[in-house]
Amino acid sequence: MDSLTHIVLGASIGEAIAGKRLGKKALVIGAIANSFPDIDIVASFWLPLTKDLLAHRGFTHSLSFVFLSAPVLGYICFRLFRKDNLSWQRWAGFWLLQLFIHIFLDAFNTYGTAWFEPFSHYRVSFNSMFVADPLFTIWPAIAAIALALMPVASRKRLKVASIALIMSSVYLIIGLTNKTSIDRVAKKQLHNNGFNTEQYFSTPTPLNNMLWYIVAKTDSGFQIGYRSVMDNGGSIHFRYTPQNANLLQQSAYPDDVKRLIRFSQGFYTASMWHDTLVFNNLRFGEVNGWADTMPQCVFYYFTDIPEANNLVVQRGRFAKWNAETFKAFLTRISGQ
């Protein structure tokens, strides 16, 4: 999830579990604790981009890291805040819960979270929430602001934090419910069309969990479609996209290509932009794919120009968006 979500969620959780003992310090320490696994961004200062893509949400987002670091971080807080009379065990539990919630929440979007490092490179991804979703974040954000302003002695503090956490949890469940509904319809149609759904995924389009992006692998490429929870019957229009994997044999950086393929979990295509070989990771969606007949992937990597790939995951996410595009996006979400 985005940094703001981890900050406000961590603050709300901090208040809920330690506000009575720590006062408003629980908000600050909670925000830091819930954000702590993202310390792996430090690696980006010296790692090549393709290695950095795999390092992010790697070991610092694993269960091993959570269980190894929580006692250490808890002991540090125990020593720093001895006057608050919170035991070392309670501090360790505080960090354990915050770190676990961070890696658990990150698994809901498409990037994937390496829960089982260093024993397995498998990445957990539920694909049920966009990396930044205002309707999830708004509740802990409101709570964090309110708690920062409310008197420490107020009896309503725990209630405010609890309501925010419940509302966000309900939204997670709604997302999973919507995904189940979309997958049932999409897989049925793909099966009826003669396509295998063993290599398949669906994930929300930006900032919502109503309009879904659907990808199914075929022998030579992918079937790609969109469906809104608000669509009233009708079939999904699937568009075929060839994989063109053989093009990647031309790359001057084969090790980078191998890492990109691993990062994509097999959902990728290759294409030529004039004389430039491009790797497209389908897992991050398409730019206006619900409206554009020939959309560009959000994640694209120039395989032979490594220095031209800064911010590779983010650079296409909202490209070409304007007021008209956003209006069309809302119209499509509504099922029209």
Cβ burial 137-152 (10 Å sphere, 16+ → b, else e): bbbbbbbbebbeeeee
Q: Which two tokens stand for residue 266?
A: 């097999």
Please give the Cα distance from 231 to 333 (Å, whole number): 8
pLDDT at 130: 96
Cβ burial 204-239 (10 Å sphere, 16+ → b, else e): bbbbbbbbbbbbbbbeeebbbbbbbbebeeeebebe
pLDDT at 188: 96
Using an 8 Å Cβ cutoff, are 198 and 187 in contact? no
Residues 6+ apart with CB under 8 A from 233: none
pLDDT at 202: 97
- Report the run of H or E that residue 284 belongs to, with start and end: strand 276-286
pLDDT at 145: 98
Cβ burial 13-43 (10 Å sphere, 16+ → b, else e): bbbbbbbeebebbbbebbbbbbbbbbebeeb
- Report the run of H or E that residue 159 belongs to, with start and end: helix 157-192
Per-residue pLDDT tens, the chain, 336 aa: give them. Answer: 999 999 999 999 999 999 999 999 999 999 999 999 999 999 888 898 999 999 999 999 999 999 999 999 999 999 999 999 899 999 999 999 999 999 999 999 999 999 999 999 999 999 999 999 999 999 999 999 999 999 999 999 999 999 999 999 999 999 999 999 999 999 999 999 999 889 999 999 999 999 999 999 999 999 999 999 999 888 999 999 999 999 999 999 999 999 999 999 999 999 999 899 999 999 999 999 998 888 999 999 999 998 888 777 767 778 788 899 999 999 999 988
Whether the link from the prior residue into 118 is cis, omega within 30° of 0, is: yes
Q: Tell me how crowded residue 286 is: count the other CB atoms within 10 A of its CB.
A: 23
pLDDT at 249: 94
DSSP reduced 3-state for 56 = coil
Of the candidates 125, 123, 295, 142, the residue with the CA atom closest to the CA atom of residue 224: 295
